[in-house]
Amino acid sequence: MENNDSFIQNIVAKEPNPALQEIGQKVLHSQRILPSEGLILFEQGSLSYVGALANWIATKMHDHKVYFNRNFHIEPTNVCLYSCTFCSYSRLIKKRSDGWEYTMDQMMDIVKSYDGKDVTEVHIVGGVLPQYDLKFYTEFFQQIKKHRPELHIKALTPVEYHYIFKKAGVSYEEGNENDQRKWCWILAWRWC
Ligand code: SF4
């Protein structure tokens, strides 16, 4: 640990940008950084500098332990209204017959197929289609929680949130507030 400490102290001391060095000192002294300082790190910090600080904190807090959960995935559909250029996952609406569109019952069957299995989370992400709206996901998540209350739900990408909130005529804040009152709905990222 001491070697790690001198290593990171050296990196911070040699950082030529005074603002980054000051933030580094705060990190070394376990002081919480401000959102504005996070922005400075994002805009001005090199990947190696930010990475070294992050790794030092992680190692200090958790040593070399790595944590993971046991989850299963549900992808409601691979058909999507959008056509992001990097996406190799989705089928366009005009090729809808090439894809799948699960009903709520079909997805609950997937959830139930894990009954008795040692899983802690269901991860739900898919394409964007009108039938998968706020009402649909509200009911779906409530059904999951009713069936298996302890199961953590991690669901939907930012683009899915954007679409369903816009379609429902609610702001991000209203959608998330509504969400937090009723179920556990955590923003998830998917690389596709
Ligand atoms: S990345 Fe997501 S939103 Fe974009 S086309 Fe693929 S499934 Fe649709």
In CATH, what number is assigned to the domain containing residue 77?
3.30.750
**Atom 6 of ligand 1 has which residue's CA nearest to it?**
87
Whether 90 lines ligand 1, by a CB cut-off of 6 Å, is yes
DSSP 29: T
User: pLDDT per position in the chain (192 positions), as tens?
Assistant: 456 789 999 999 999 999 999 999 999 999 999 999 999 999 999 999 999 999 999 999 999 998 888 999 999 999 999 999 988 888 888 889 999 999 999 999 999 999 999 999 999 999 999 999 988 998 999 899 999 999 999 899 889 989 998 998 887 777 666 554 443 343 344 332
Are residue 90 and residue 171 in the same domain, yes or no? Answer: yes
Q: How far is the CA of 177 from the centre of ligand 1 (A)?
A: 25
pTM for the predicted model, two decimal places: 0.70
Q: Is residue 20 part of a domain?
A: yes
Residue 190 within any structural domain of the chain: no
Mutation test of ligand 1: which of 89, 157, 161, 189 has the most ligand atoms closer than 8 Å to its C-beta?
89
Distance (angstroms) between ligand 1 centre and the Cα of 28 equals 40
Q: Do 107 and 127 belong together in one domain? A: yes
**Would the CB of 80 count as within 6 Å of ligand 1?**
yes
Say if residue 166 is in the same domain as residue 142.
yes
Last residue in a domain, options 62, 94, 113: 62
- β-pairing, 152-155 vs 79-80, is unpaired
Q: Are residues 98 and 35 in the same domain?
A: no
Total domains present in the chain: 2
Shared domain for 120 and 57, answered yes or no, is: no
Q: Residue 51's Cα: distance from chain center in Å?
A: 19
44, 80: one domain: no
* The predicted structure's pLDDT at residue 94: 85
* DSSP state, residue 96: G
CA 156–ligand 1 middle distance (angstroms) = 11
- 73 sits in the region (left: phi over 0; alpha: psi -120 to 50; else beta) called beta
What is the span of the domain harbouring residue 102? 71-182
96 and 31: one domain?
no
Name which residue sits closest to atom 2 of ligand 1, judged by CA.
Answer: 127
Q: Whose CA is nearest to atom 1 of ligand 1?
A: 87
Q: 192 in a domain, yes or no?
A: no
Q: Could you tell me if 52 and 87 lie in one domain?
A: no
Q: How many CB atoms lie within 10 A of CB 58?
A: 13
Please count the residues of the chain. Answer: 192
Statement to judge: residues 115 and 177 lie in one domain: yes
Residues contacting residue 184 through CB under 8 Å, at least 6 positions apart: 141, 145, 152, 153
**Co-location of 80 and 164 in the same domain:** yes
Instruction: State the closest ligand 1 atom to the C-alpha of 127, by its place in the atom list counted from 1.
Output: 7
